[in-house]
């Protein structure tokens, strides 16, 4: 495993980490969840990603039980939670980034995960109804209280992250360290363009999600529809429709040809392409089987095959390389 600094912070994350969205407490049994965590940990993964809304709290409960059962040295791993969506309840104070919900969300996540502190605590989305200043102060105070170690954002835009930094700087508070954006061959704009200033001048780290675009970039949806996969799950038509849009499938088909020419699986090529970006601190993997994880870790060896010519060939297929302003 390779370890990367989480932006300019002092903490290091494994280049691959393991997430639990749609799997823990939902698609897979608790036994499989435990096998996945063991496989990940034994391969050097040191970061496990979670959120209050995943399976409405159940994902954290399952992960918490596994962590307790495995009893790994607490200093050997990082665990996250994300606050914003609550448990899906409709009450006005049961979601968002107010001091009330962030503090209550943190306490609830600590209980579900059965840990004394959360290593990485994310604002899962921006909250237009709460002043960013209120959230920055709250996160700072949670750090002072030892309940969280680092805080960050997820799917905030560059100007929102910048505002949080400025507020933190003006008030001598601890600002956000990391952002969790979607990043894969189909979604590049934020990481490759919008955040460049934040990487360079504010040391932003990133924990990127959906590197396989929910499995489409594994190539398994190119010839028919395989059984027992995420996109066949009940209630996920919105995701299925987006993931299997014609233009994505067409591009995926062409990416597969590049993978074939390199003699590597499409999964490994797609994951290596994410790892290749130096502004990616960790690629969060999702998996429903341990065999997937084992294959995915091998993508670390494929990064070296991504020469400038190969990257150009991929860009030509994707036709979505962000255009940077000329200075």
Q: 9, 81, 214, 281: which one contacts ligand NDP (CB under 6 A)?
A: 214
Q: Which of 39, 46, 130, 180 binds ligand NDP (CB under 6 A)?
A: 180
Encode 206-244: b = buried (16+ Cβ within 10 Å), e = exposed: bbbbbbbbbbbbbbbbeeeeeeebbbeeeebeeebeebb
* Binds ligand NDP by CB under 6 A, chosen from 6, 16, 19, 79: 19
C-beta of residue 122 within 8 angstroms of C-beta of residue 92: no
Q: Is 290 in the site for ligand NDP (CB under 6 A)?
A: no
CB atoms within 10 A of CB 44: 14
Residue 212 interacting with ligand NDP (CB under 6 A) = yes
Which residue in 155, 182, 3, 22 sits closest to 77, CA to CA? 3
Helix, strand, or coil (residue 32): helix
Scanning residues 253 to 272, which ones bind ligand NDP (CB under 6 A)? 267
* 193 near ligand NDP, judged by CB under 6 A: no
The verdict on 49 binding ligand NDP (CB under 6 A) reads yes
Residue 154 within binding range of ligand NDP, rule CB under 6 A = yes
| Beta strands at 47-49 and 78-83: parallel, antiparallel or unpaired | parallel
Regarding 86 and contact with ligand NDP (CB under 6 A), the answer is no
Residue 218 contacts ligand NDP per CB under 6 A: yes
Q: Which element (helix H / strand E) includes 245?
A: none
The distance of closest approach from Cβ of residue 220 to ligand NDP in the complex, given in angstroms and rounded to an integer, is: 5
Which region among 130-138, 252-260, 280-288, 304-312 touches ligand NDP (by CB under 6 A)? Answer: 280-288
Beta bridge partners of 152: 122, 178
Output 166 or 295, the one with its CB closest to ligand NDP: 295
Q: State which of residues 9, 11, 15, 23 lies at the interface with ligand NDP (CB under 6 A).
A: 23
Residues annotated as catalytic are 54
Q: Count the alpha carbons within 13 Å of 228 in the hemisphere toward its beta carbon.
A: 4
Three-state DSSP state, 223 = coil
Do residues 18 and 45 lie in contact, with contact meaning Cβ atoms separated by under 8 Å?
yes
| Residue 109 in the binding site for ligand NDP (CB under 6 A) | no
Select from 110, 139, 213, 255 the one that contacts ligand NDP (CB under 6 A): 213
Smallest distance, Å, CB 121 to ligand NDP? 12
113 near ligand NDP, judged by CB under 6 A: no
Q: What b/e readout covers 47-64, taking b as 16+ CB neighbours within 10 angstroms? A: bbbbbbbbbbbbbbbbbb
Which residues contribute to the site for ligand NDP (CB under 6 A)? 19-21, 23, 49, 154-155, 180, 209-215, 218, 220, 229-230, 267, 284-288, 292, 295-296
């Amino acid at each position: 495993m390779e370890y990367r600094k989480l932006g300019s912070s002092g903490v290091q994350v494994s280049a691959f980490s393991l997430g639990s969205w749609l799997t823990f407490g939902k698609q897979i049994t608790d036994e499989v969840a435990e096998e996945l965590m063991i496989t990940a940990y034994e391969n050097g993964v040191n970061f496990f990603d979670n959120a209050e809304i995943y399976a409405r709290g159940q994902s954290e409960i399952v992960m918490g039980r596994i962590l307790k059962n495995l009893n790994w040295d607490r200093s050997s791993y990082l665990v996250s939670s994300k606050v914003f969506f609550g448990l899906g309840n409709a009450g006005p104070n049961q979601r968002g980034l107010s001091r009330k919900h962030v503090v209550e969300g943190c306490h609830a996540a600590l209980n579900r995960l059965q840990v004394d502190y959360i290593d990485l605590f994310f604002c899962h989305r921006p909250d237009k109804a709460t002043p960013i200043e209120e959230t920055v102060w709250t996160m700072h105070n949670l750090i002072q209280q030892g309940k969280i170690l680092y805080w960050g954002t997820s799917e905030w835009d560059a100007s929102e992250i910048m505002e949080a930094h400025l507020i933190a700087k003006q008030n001598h508070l601890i600002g956000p360290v990391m952002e969790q954006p979607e990043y894969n061959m189909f979604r590049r704009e934020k990481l490759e363009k919008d955040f460049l200033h934040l990487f360079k001048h504010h040391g932003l780290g990133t924990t990127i999600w959906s590197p396989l675009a929910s499995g489409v970039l594994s190539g398994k949806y190119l010839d028919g529809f395989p059984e027992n996969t995420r996109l066949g799950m009940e209630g996920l038509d919105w995701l299925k429709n987006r993931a299997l849009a014609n233009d994505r499938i067409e591009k995926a088909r062409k990416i597969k040809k590049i993978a074939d020419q390199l003699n590597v699986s499409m999964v490994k090529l797609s994951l290596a392409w994410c790892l290749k970006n130096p502004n990616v601190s960790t690629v969060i993997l999702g998996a429903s089987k341990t065999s997937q994880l084992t294959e995915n870790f091998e993508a670390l060896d494929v990064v070296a095959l991504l020469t400038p010519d190969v990257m150009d060939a991929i860009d030509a297929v994707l036709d979505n390389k962000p255009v940077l302003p000329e200075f």
